[in-house]
Amino acid sequence: MVEKIESTEETQDAKRGTKNVVYFVGAGPGDVELITLKGMRLLEQADTIIYAGSLINPVLLALNRKADLVDSSRLCLDDIIKIMVKENRRGRKVVRLHSGDPSLFGAIKEQIARLGQAGVSARVIPGVSSLAAAAAALPVELTVPGVSQTVIITRAAGRTPAPEREDISSLAEHQAAMAIFLSAGLAAKVQAKLERHYPPETPVAVVQRASWPDEKIIRTRLAQLAAAMKKEGINSTAIILVGAALEQKGDESMLYAGDFSHGFRKGREPGRRNGKAEA
């Protein structure tokens, strides 16, 4: 029998006597099983759930039939804050349900700041990012020894600007693995900026609606990126992955090499196998 897992945030809040708390929960990328245990518990206990529109799997919302559900897709920031503060002051448990992980393009900074101004605290429960789900769908390791040990997470500048120093063409100079969010509608622009530093034959993968039943995957080369996305009709809800790491070539990790020692295992001497010298 599995013992009941203690919820750290709720236990600490109870000890402090803190009641003015709104919980920001990462729902994961779409698959209902990719929410954390902590996130699921808070979701089931919530009295009011303010969720990020069509980005949240409705099956998750159906797990709590007593809560009031509020779709935030048609609300502005002021409206969302008013609801959260009002429901919190009524003594109701409020969950703000975000897709993926709230810390990545989640627009939580301003929500937390406004709540603080109203005397309401925030707790953030991390979630599985669509980046992790996309890599798993391929499946690939984005940090391949000898090829790329860096993953750059970014987005193309569109209606929402990006710092000039973080332009995709500048970031591409590193030729590291790159994950480009919120840019499927700017495929041609993204391709042109990447091509300034990545070779045209660089492998690219596009994963739309990662982990959802209608997930779609494109594998192509950088030179064909925009054309491939146009052909498949992908212009939203997708992540673009680029870099040599996608081919999964390179060195094996030293972590499990037989002659590599670490705090839990002493490696054998180089050139020996099973305690015997090689011929």
Is the confidence at residue 273, as pLDDT, over 50?
Answer: no
What is the predicted pLDDT for the residue at 255?
Answer: 66
Predicted local distance difference test score (pLDDT) of residue 39: 97
pLDDT of 7 reads 63
Q: How confident is the model at residue 66 (pLDDT cuts 50, 70, 90)?
A: very high
- Residue 87's alpha-carbon distances to 81, 82, 125, in angstroms, are 10, 8, 19
Tens of pLDDT, residue by residue over 98-156, are 999 999 999 999 999 999 999 999 999 999 999 999 999 999 999 999 999 999 999 99
More confident residue, 13 or 63: 63
Q: What is the mean pLDDT of residues 178-190?
A: 97
Q: Which residue has the tokens 């492998």?
A: 203
Q: What is the mean pLDDT of residues 244-261?
A: 76
CA dist 266 and 254 (Å) reads 13
The structure's pTM equals 0.85
> Do residues 49 and 70 make contact, with C-beta atoms less than 8 angstroms apart?
yes
Q: What is the pLDDT of residue 193?
A: 97
Cis status of the peptide bond prior to 58, with omega within 30 of 0: no
Give residue 1's pLDDT: 41
**Residues 150-163 pLDDT 10s:** 999 999 988 888 89
pLDDT number for residue 239? 98
- Measure the CA–CA gap between 134 and 129, rounded to whole angstroms: 9
Task: Write down all domains in the chain, each with its CATH number in brackets.
Answer: 14-128 (3.40.1010.10), 131-247 (3.30.950.10)
Burial 171-189 (b: 16+ CB within 10 A, else e): bbeebbbbbbbbbbebbee
The secondary structure of the chain in percent helix, strand, coil, rounded to multiples of 5, reads: 35, 20, 40
